[in-house]
Structure 1
Amino acid sequence: MIRSVTGVREKIKQTWVHLVGSAKEFSMEQRVYNTFCLITIIGVGYNIPFNIISALYGPFFVTIFLLGLVTYAFYLSRFKGRYHRSFLILSLSVHAGLGINYFFNDGITGPTLVLLSLFFFPILVVATKGRYWVWTSVNVGLILSLALVEYLYPEVILGRYLSRETRFIDMVTTYLIVIVLIRVCTVFLLNHYNNARLATEQANKALLKLNQEKTKLLSIISHDLHAPLANIQGYLQFLTKAEMPPEQRLQIKTQLLQNTQTTLDMLTNVLAWSKSQMDGSKKALTSINVHQALSSTLELFKDIARRKDITLTYALDQAVHIIAEVEFLQLIVRNLVNNAVKFTNSGGTVQVSAQKQDGSLLLTVTDSGNGQPALLSPDIFLLNSGTTYGTQQEKGVGLGLVLCREFVEAQNGRIWFESHPVSGVSFFVEVPLVPEGLVAASTSLVAVA
């Protein structure tokens, strides 16, 4: 029984939301206006049988006229999208219809002035700024004019209640309809206001965080990019002006190459971060062959690691496909492997592996470290202004892991690390696998092509 009642309530709620219109289709003002029209239709429809029972035949015909026009106005607004034309028709018909109804429904002692006052509510919500005072003047002017005419010429009031009971019923039900309408529309506006306020607060927090990160990033750039570029300039000036033994020249060239590579890595990460902030880190995720996407990048790092006497090995299944974006995935692996090489002593090892695990791919980058336990902060994936140095004083700005976290999350994955008790660190990246059926389908399509 309870389930059936709940089901009926839910169905009524869904029907009402459909009639009012969704937030995606209509603005807040339009939905409030549609709500007003619906409740007005219900209220006007109720008055039709009551007017017949009370022998108020003048109000009966006026009510029929109003019901038709209000229904048409709602149809224009909700289903035809002619919001302003609907409001114009509704405003003219309500003021005209209630103005006539005033003389057939007991004048100032009837409910007409209350209904006219109520119509000021949609004027507040719906009327444009340029026409607000026009409709306000029409509404207030009509109420004052009707009261003045009745005061000067009381004989113009034609319709009277048959009994005291019918008058009480009409007035009480009118007030109830007014209260319900004000209640529904006011709650609607309050909910919209609270939702908008919460959204604004969240947007302000996100903007404040972004501004703080940009400030930190600018500080990092001004400090940590300036120094290596100045060193590169100094090395080049020294090489062009000074005579030196070949061994010393080779040493300077090696140092120059290392500084250039470090600066290029920092600049690449800065540009990638800036682009991700502008694009919102959103790109189309597609099926990617992990081996094809990463093998060339890892082969390049083999040469970089060899210069530092580090052995880089990797094992990637050629048949593994994941749901990702190629540029994001390559940048993640590039930063993780670059960090592993940077913080590993000469003679050490860096291993990259990928294995399937519960519908996901677990990509692991493990290094042998610098001979001491790595004390990494849990906030390592957050932007900070500290500068990190590798085993050969390679400089970094702490931006690479920030990008890894952002890009992994953009691919519906997660990233974490584990420090080895003796030396070294393992970084783990988990991203969704492409279902086997889809992989087979895509492979067959490639074969046919």
Structure 2
Amino acid sequence: METLDQFSKLFVLDIRSTMGLLFWGNLALAALVFTFRFALFSKDNQKHLLVFGCSKIFQTLAWLSFFLRTDTVTFNAVNIIIPNTLIFSSYFLESIAMLMLVKSSTKKDFRGQAILFVVALLSFYYAVWVESRTNIRVSLASLIIFLLLITPALRFLTEARSSLFKKILGFNYIILLVVLIFRMFYPLFKTSTTLYSIDATQKIIFLIIFMMMMISGVGYLLLLQEEKELQIKKLLEDKDKFFSIIAHDLRGPFNGIIGLSELLLENDNELDQKESNEFIQMIHQSSKNTFSLLENLLTWAKSQTGSLEFSPVNFEISTITDKTISLLANIAKSKNISLRSEIEPNQFVVADKNMLETIFRNLITNALKFTENNGEVLLSMQREKNQVVFLIKDNGIGIAPQKLTNLFSINHKNHSLGTNDETGTGLGLMLCKDFVEKHGGEIWVTSEVGKGSEFKFSIVEGLN
């Protein structure tokens, strides 16, 4: 019993001491976040850390304001508005930092969160203006924080292919949300409850908030560190593949061009016009393949090093589909393939125009490559909620089931000759996957050998 009594003293903290803990805890987290920002993280993560760090600074100032209030009985609008505005602002910024870690987040999500924040602030200010009772304001403040955190927490838990660590962090926020729900209703049934009451339940609530705050703060940094390590691992793997392509796939076409040109030079006097034209045509085709490979290599290298900026704009989709069809018309004509688009005029999307053009060029080129003479390649699109889904369909030779799994993987070679022995490296498909993911979308394929393939990809409009 004596041991139990001693243990219970761990929780004997008055409200002001707990506020002091929250002040020092947030101050320490803010210092830690900004240390990480300036010392360890990349340009991409620095924006995340700036927002998260500012949220901790706001919360530090908020708890300091609560702690310094000496008169907690007399109604004073300024003393109520300042600390509560700081606390709401801190949780708003924290919710934005959380959404920034969710890959499918769009501008619409951030705007919605900002509107919610403004409406919540105005609601609280109205409650202060009409001099609502203290317990009502406490419940309202808990409701506001709950509403600010609920969407990011659920997105953390439901995001496709999210890591186990991200889900654990999401569950931490769920625990905090449960505490906030309790704190919403508890003051309504205990009308004497205020922020500074010495009620035992109130102390436990604050201690739980303190623990969840520390876990979420450190967890956020660890999650960013995990993502950074995954990026480094991927970059190393991509570098190896890059050098493999340069060493093997790029050397091959040049050897072909050199060999064919040497034969043409050595036997120029012995070849008739028809034979010379055949050699020139082979050199021309090999040069085009090499140029296409170089173009993809350079684009991909820019993408991996971060020098290729993602710049979404609003534009009419037919401007790039028509351009791509015109560019590839000669290839389609040489095989008598019907290449057409069913995308109607005046269909606008918000996306990176250059990246989308690269995706279409590679997917249509592949479709033409693996479609027999007199075949058909068709483009279409449809809108689904906040996404646009594009389809490139052909009636070509199809893809074997065992090749579908690793079709977009950089670590697996996908060398297959086209119907007219056209060559490729599979780099184009990997580049498509990379650009589609930058738009928050997915790319997938359904195919049946002998009946053709359907490549589909989605983009999330307004992603930035």
TM-score, length-normalised on structure 2?
Answer: 0.53
1:382-402 CA deviation, whole Å, 9 max, x = no partner?
213414122233222211111
Cα pair 1:374 1:424 within 8 Å, conserved: no
Matched, 1:202 2:227: yes
Residues 377 and 311 of structure 1: is their aligned pair in 2 closer, same or farther, counting only changes over 3 Å?
same
Q: Give how far 1:425 is off.
A: 0.5
1:339 alignment partner in structure 2: 366
Equivalent position SS for 2:407: helix
Q: Secondary structure of the residue that 1:365 maps to in structure 2?
A: strand
1:210-251 CA distance string (max 9 Å, x none): 211221121122100001011111222222232212222122
| Equivalent residue letter for 1:233 | I
Aligned counterpart, 2:428: 400
What letter is aligned with 1:227?
G
Matched-pair contact (CA < 8 Å) for 1:383–1:402: yes
2:459 corresponds in structure 1 to 431
Q: Alignment partner for residue 366 of structure 1, among 393, 411, 416?
A: 393
The one-letter code sitting in structure 2 at the alignment partner of 1:228 is P
Deviation at residue 314 of structure 1 after TM alignment: 2.4
Where 2:456 maps in the other structure, the secondary structure is strand
Kindly provide the CA deviation profile for residues 86-126 of structure 1, in whole angstroms up to 9, marking residues without a partner as x.
Answer: xxxxxxxxxxxxxxxxxxxxxxxxxxxxxxxxxxxxxxxxx
- CA distances 1:286-309 after superposition (whole Å, capped 9, x unpaired): 211011222122112111221233
Q: 2:293 aligns with which of 249, 266, 273?
A: 266
Q: Match for residue 438 of structure 2?
A: 410
Q: Deviations over 1:66-90 (max 9, x none)?
A: xxxxxxxxx9xx9xxxxxxxxxxxx
Letter in structure 1 aligned against 2:408? F
Computed over aligned residues only, the root mean square deviation of the Cα atoms, in angstroms, reads 4.1
Conservation of the 8 A alpha-carbon contact between 2:397 and 2:450: no
Q: Deviations over 1:403-449 (max 9, x none)?
A: 11221222233322111364210111233569xxxxxxxxxxxxxxx
1:394 counterpart SS class: coil
Change in Cα spacing, 1:413 to 1:33, as seen in structure 2 (3 Å) is closer
Matched, 1:249 2:273: no
Q: Which residue of 1 aligns with 2:264?
A: 239
Q: Post-superposition shift, 1:319?
A: 1.3
Q: Which residue of 1 aligns with 2:305?
A: 278
Question: What amino acid is aligned across from residue 411 of structure 1 in structure 2?
Answer: H
1:155-174 superposed matches below 5 A: none
What is residue 201 of structure 2 aligned with on the other side? none
- Match in the other structure for 2:335: 308
Aligned mates of 1:190, 1:356 — CA distance in 2: 40
Identify the residue that residue 226 of structure 1 maps to in structure 2: 251
* Closer, same or farther: CA 193–360 of 1 in aligned 2, 3 Å: closer
Counterpart for residue 213 of structure 1: 238
Q: Which residue of 2 aligns with 1:386?
A: 413
Deviation readout 1:352-403 (Å, 9 max, x if unpaired): 2334555644322112213886764223122134141222332222111111
Paired with 1:277 and 1:185, the residues of 2 have a C-alpha distance of 40
Shift of 1:310: 2.7
Aligned mates of 2:58, 2:399 — CA distance in 1: 65
Given that 1:322 and 1:432 are in contact with CA atoms closer than 8 Å, whether structure 2 keeps it comes out as: no
The residue type paired with residue 347 of structure 1 is N
| Shift in alpha-carbon separation, 1:274–1:382, aligned structure 2, 3 A | same
Contact 1:415 1:428 in 2 (8 A): yes
Please give the alpha-carbon distance, in whole angstroms, between the structure 1 residues aligned to 2:63 and 2:388.
54
Q: 1:224 to 1:186 in 2, by over 3 A?
A: same
- Aligned pair in 2 of structure 1 residues 297, 29: CA closer, same or farther (>3 Å)? closer
CA–CA distance in structure 1, aligned partners of residues 361 and 214 of structure 2 = 51
Kept after mapping to 2: 8 A contact 1:311/1:347: yes
* CA shift for structure 1 position 281: 6.0
Which of 357, 360, 382 lines up with 1:330 in the alignment? 357
- Measure how far apart 1:209 and its partner are: 1.6
Give the match for residue 378 of structure 2: 351
How many angstroms apart in 2 are the aligned matches of 1:212 and 1:371?
A: 29
CA positional deviation for 1:192: 4.4
Aligned equivalents of 1:369, 1:27: Cα separation in 2: 55
Gap change, CA 1:36 and 1:364, over 3 Å in 2: closer
After superposition, the C-alpha distances for 1:322-370 in whole angstroms (9 at most, x for unaligned) are 1111101110100001101111222322222334555644322112213
Look up the SS of the partner of 2:315 in the other structure: strand
1:391 maps to a residue whose letter is T
Conserved? CA contact 1:371–1:422, under 8 Å: yes
Q: SS in structure 2 opposite 1:381?
A: coil
Which residue does 1:124 correspond to in 2?
A: none
Matched position secondary structure for 2:406: helix
TM-score in terms of structure 1 length: 0.54
Question: Deviation of residue 39 (structure 1)?
Answer: 9.5
Distance 2:288 2:280 in 1: 12
User: Higher relative CO (CA 8 A, sep ≥ 6), structure 1 or 2?
Assistant: 2
The percent identity for this pair of structures is 25
What is the SS of the residue equivalent to 1:405?
Answer: helix
What do residues 147-166 of structure 1 show as CA deviations (whole Å, max 9, x unaligned)? xxxxxxxxxxxxxxxxxxxx
Between the aligned partners of 2:395 and 2:263, the Cα distance in structure 1 is: 36
- Assess, with a 3 A threshold, how the Cα gap between structure 1 residues 198 and 228 changes in structure 2: closer, same or farther: same
CA contact (8 A) 1:292 1:318 kept: no
1:404 corresponds to which letter in structure 2? C
2:447 maps to which residue? 419
In structure 1, the residue matched to 2:156 is none
CA contact (8 A) 2:398 2:447 kept: no
Residue segments in structure 2 that go unaligned for 5+ positions in a row: 1-14, 31-49, 72-82, 87-206
Provide the rounded CA distance (Å) in 1 between the counterparts of 2:316 and 2:282: 37
Q: Quick one: distance in 2 between partners of 1:31 and 1:371?
A: 58
Q: CA deviation at 1:28?
A: 11
Look up the equivalent residue of 1:426 and give its one-letter code. Answer: E
Q: Alpha carbons of 1:387 and 1:224: their partners in 2 closer, same or farther (altered >3 Å)?
A: farther
Q: Which residue of 1 is the match for residue 77 of structure 2?
A: none
Deviates more, 1:280-289 or 1:24-33: 24-33
Match of 2:187 in 1: none
Aligned residue for 2:51, secondary structure, equals coil
1:321 is aligned, of 348, 358, 363, to 348
